[in-house]
């Protein structure tokens, strides 16, 4: 019986990626624990593999840390913003229940995680082809920046693809493009706001070549992402 | 009985083909030739060259594993043969190293890019199963390597008449690109048959070409000689090509001074 359920969930996976609004709307409306678990499993597998590929450039230990940390950021962001997301949707004109909004955000992160996971072998290949840090007398900043840029492009692509699908579902729920856009931007703002800070706390992911490999930085809870960005802008303007 | 004055109903796929215009071929289900099973390796080679839609149809049928295995086998064998021709340029160790590297490089590239192709296919709304996607990649590799075999005599003639690594590299690259273009055309036909959007597949094609090109640098030397079987230094393929071109330029300048 369990095996049969698992098969059904795996078969549903392409439907999720295809982003058929009617199907996803139905999934959000009809809450199923097995479907929820499938989403969580895909997030852990996809984001974990991608995180490992990303961290492998710094060291295999960093890759191991990222297998846990990267999915944690995604899950924690989904749960941390679920309450405000569930409240914002009806306020902005989209009649969604809390469970529905949570499921929709989770499905969008699942799509992003699946895309990231599929890119993991390519990122491993890119990292394998870059100069290793071991035995270097000088820190290869150009390669570090290249690895960072590659991650930004891939993560941005996965995020855009996932949100395009989420937008279509939101539109299917309400029928209004304007309301769907408002809700999507509100959810995105919340997710980005919390997600950035969670990434800051759980840093490093790639790992600066000049700093040691750690699960958490010693000053993980000191300062925040936005302070650092403002300070960097300040430095840039004053120099 | 039917009214003799009423024209018979035209089947929907045939109607679609008529309304879409003459160049649009009918879907595979309408052509009985394309539904004939592919029993062996020779038939698989012939089908992928002459009736690619027959291969695409068979990949969608249950039990397509045998066809996929046959195509993968053909791709490896053809890769090994073309590698042998590549190895004739330098001889020695390259006689066995180049075939192994080319076949392994092709398989590795396909494996690295396979997950993203499946995800892109799903994102584009295609109902293709993972087996079908594996079959499409196997078909791509098969068509590529068969065409490379077709180019092999030309490559061999050039490899025996020139000493320039850059010239041979450029020639093999040109053959590789032509073969890849036909291979990707096959893959595109298969993956876009049921897809709503094809943009993702096109992005994947670019990624696949880049991975293949980087693989040629990661497994170097494929054409010339080196002290080690695999490189000790990691390089981006464009950097490697530019360095080779510069080195070749310097060599030709110094040899022209001694002539």
Rounded to a whole number of angstroms, the distance from the CA of B113 to the nearest CA of chain A is 7
As a whole number of angstroms, the distance between CA A40 and CA A9 comes to 12
In chain A, positions 77-116, which contact chain B (CB-CB < 8 Å)? 111, 114-115
For residue A20, pLDDT beyond 90 = no
The answer to whether residue B117 scores a pLDDT higher than 50 is yes
* Cβ–Cβ pairs < 8 A, chains A and B: 60
Most confident region among A64-73, A132-141, B12-21, B49-58 by mean pLDDT: A64-73
Least confident of A66-75, A181-190, A202-211, B115-124: A202-211
**Nearest Cα residue to B110 out of B77, B86, B133, B80:** B133
As a whole number, mean pLDDT of residues B120-143 equals: 90
pLDDT-derived band at A9, boundaries 50, 70, 90: low
Interface of B with A in 179-218 (CB under 8 A): 207, 211, 214, 217-218
A57 vs B: CB within 8 A: no
User: At residue A143, does pLDDT exceed 90?
Assistant: no
Residue B252: pLDDT band by 50, 70, 90 thresholds?
low
- Are A122 and B207 in contact (CB < 8 Å)? yes
pLDDT in tens, A38-73: 899 999 999 999 999 999 988 899 999 999 999 999
Residue A178 CB neighbours (<10 A): 11
Read off the pLDDT band of B27 (50, 70, 90): low
pLDDT at B81 over 80: yes
Which one of A111, A119, A129 has the shortest CB-CB distance to B214?
Answer: A129
The answer, yes or no, to whether the previous bond of A104 is cis (omega within 30 of 0) is no
Contact state of A122 with B234 under an 8 Å Cβ cutoff: no
Which pLDDT value is given to residue B9?
44
**Listed range (A229-238, B115-124, B180-189, B233-242) with the worst mean pLDDT:** A229-238
User: Is A156's Cβ below 8 Å from some Cβ in B?
Assistant: no
Q: Looking at beta carbons, which residues of chain B come within 8 Å of A17?
A: 119, 122-123
Chain A residue with the nearest C-alpha to that of B129: A14
Tell me which residue range forms the domain holding A164: 2-238
pLDDT at A219: 79
Least confident of A68-77, B97-106, B150-159, B249-258: B249-258
SS3 readout for B9-75:
CCCHHHHHHHHHCCCCCCCHHHCHHHHCCCCCHHHHHHHHHHCHHHHHHHHCCCCCHHHHHHHHHHH
How far A129 CA sits from the closest chain B CA (Å)? 6
Q: A138-152, A203-217, B10-24, B203-217 — which is least confidently predicted?
A: B10-24
A17/B116 touch (CB, cutoff 8 Å), yes or no: no
CA within 13 Å, CB half, B230? 10
B10 versus A140: the higher-pLDDT residue is: A140
Q: Which chain A residues touch B119 with a CB distance below 8 Å?
A: 17, 114-115, 117-118
Please indicate if any CB of chain B lies within 8 Å of the CB of A122. Answer: yes
Residue A134: pLDDT band (50, 70, 90) is low
Residue A135's pLDDT is what? 63
User: How many domains would you assign to chain A?
Assistant: 1
Q: What percent of chain B has pLDDT over 90?
A: 44
DSSP A152: H
Percentage of residues in chain A having pLDDT higher than 70 = 92
* Residue predicted with more confidence, A233 or B60: B60
Q: How far is residue B244's CA from residue B255's CA, in Å, rounded to a whole number?
A: 16
Query: How near does any CA of chain A get to the CA of B105, in Å?
Result: 12
- Judge whether B123 is closer than 8 Å to chain A, CB to CB: yes
Is A120's CB within 8 Å of B111's CB?
Answer: no
Q: What is the ipTM of this complex?
A: 0.72
Identify the band that residue B2 occupies on the pLDDT scale cut at 50, 70 and 90. Answer: very low
Q: Other CB atoms closer than 10 Å to residue B195's CB: what's the count?
A: 22
pLDDT for B1 equals 39
Query: pTM for the complete prediction?
Result: 0.78
Residues from chain A that touch B219, judged by Cβ atoms under 8 A, are none
State pLDDT tens for residues B37-59: 888 889 899 888 888 889 999 99
pLDDT tens-place string over residues A165-174 = 899 999 988 8
Non-local CB neighbours of B65 within 8 Å, separated by 6+ positions: B131
Give me the residue spans of the domains in chain B. 33-248
Least confident of A184-198, B7-21, B25-39: B7-21
A161 at interface of B, judged by CB pairs closer than 8 A: yes
How many residues are given for chain A?
239
User: What is residue A205's predicted lDDT score, i.e. its pLDDT?
Assistant: 87
């Amino acid at each position: 019986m369990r095996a049969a359920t698992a098969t059904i969930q795996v078969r549903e996976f392409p439907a999720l990626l295809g982003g058929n609004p009617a199907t996803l709307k139905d999934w959000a409306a009809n809450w199923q624990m097995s479907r929820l678990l499938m989403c969580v499993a895909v997030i852990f597998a996809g984001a974990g593999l991608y995180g490992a590929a990303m961290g492998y450039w710094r060291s295999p230990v960093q890759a191991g840390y990222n297998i846990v940390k990267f999915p944690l950021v995604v899950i924690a962001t989904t749960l941390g913003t679920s309450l405000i997301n569930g409240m914002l949707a009806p306020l902005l004109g989209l009649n969604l229940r809390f469970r529905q909004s949570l499921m929709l955000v989770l499905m969008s992160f699942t799509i992003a995680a699946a895309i990231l996971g599929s890119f993991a072998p390519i990122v491993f290949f890119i990292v394998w082809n870059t100069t290793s840090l071991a035995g270097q007398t000088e820190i290869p900043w150009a390669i570090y920046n290249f690895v960072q840029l590659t991650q930004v492009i891939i993560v941005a692509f996965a995020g855009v693809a996932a949100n395009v699908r989420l937008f279509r579902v939101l539109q299917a729920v309400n029928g209004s493009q304007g309301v769907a856009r408002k809700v999507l931007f509100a959810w995105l703002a919340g997710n980005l706001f919390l997600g950035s800070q969670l990434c800051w706390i759980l840093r490093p992911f790639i790992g600066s070549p000049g700093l040691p490999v750690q699960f958490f930085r010693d000053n993980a809870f000191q300062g925040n992402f936005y302070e650092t960005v403002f300070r960097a802008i300040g430095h840039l303007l004053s120099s | 009985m039917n009214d003799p004055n009423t024209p018979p109903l035209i089947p929907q796929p045939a109607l679609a083909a008529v309304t879409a215009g003459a160049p649009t071929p009918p879907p595979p289900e309408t052509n009985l030739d394309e539904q004939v099973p592919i029993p062996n390796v020779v038939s698989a080679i012939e089908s992928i060259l002459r009736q690619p839609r027959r291969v695409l149809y068979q990949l969608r049928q249950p039990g397509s594993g045998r066809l996929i295995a046959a195509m993968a086998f053909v791709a490896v064998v053809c890769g090994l043969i073309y590698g042998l021709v590549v190895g004739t340029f330098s001889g020695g160790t390259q006689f066995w190293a180049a075939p192994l590297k080319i076949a392994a490089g092709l398989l590795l590239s396909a494996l690295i890019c396979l997950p993203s192709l499946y995800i892109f296919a799903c994102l584009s709304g295609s109902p293709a199963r993972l087996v079908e996607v594996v079959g499409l990649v196997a078909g791509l590799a098969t068509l590529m390597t068969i065409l490379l075999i077709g180019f092999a005599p030309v490559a061999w003639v050039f490899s025996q008449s020139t000493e320039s690594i850059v010239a041979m590299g450029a020639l093999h690259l040109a053959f590789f690109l032509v073969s890849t273009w036909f291979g990707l055309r096959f893959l595109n036909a298969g993956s876009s048959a049921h897809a709503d959007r094809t943009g993702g597949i096109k992005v994947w094609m670019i990624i696949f070409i880049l991975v293949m090109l980087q693989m040629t640098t990661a497994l170097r030397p494929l054409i010339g000689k080196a002290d080690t079987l695999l490189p000790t230094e990691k390089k981006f393929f464009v950097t490697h090509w530019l360095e080779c071109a510069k080195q070749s330029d310097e060599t030709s300048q110094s040899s022209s001074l001694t002539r």
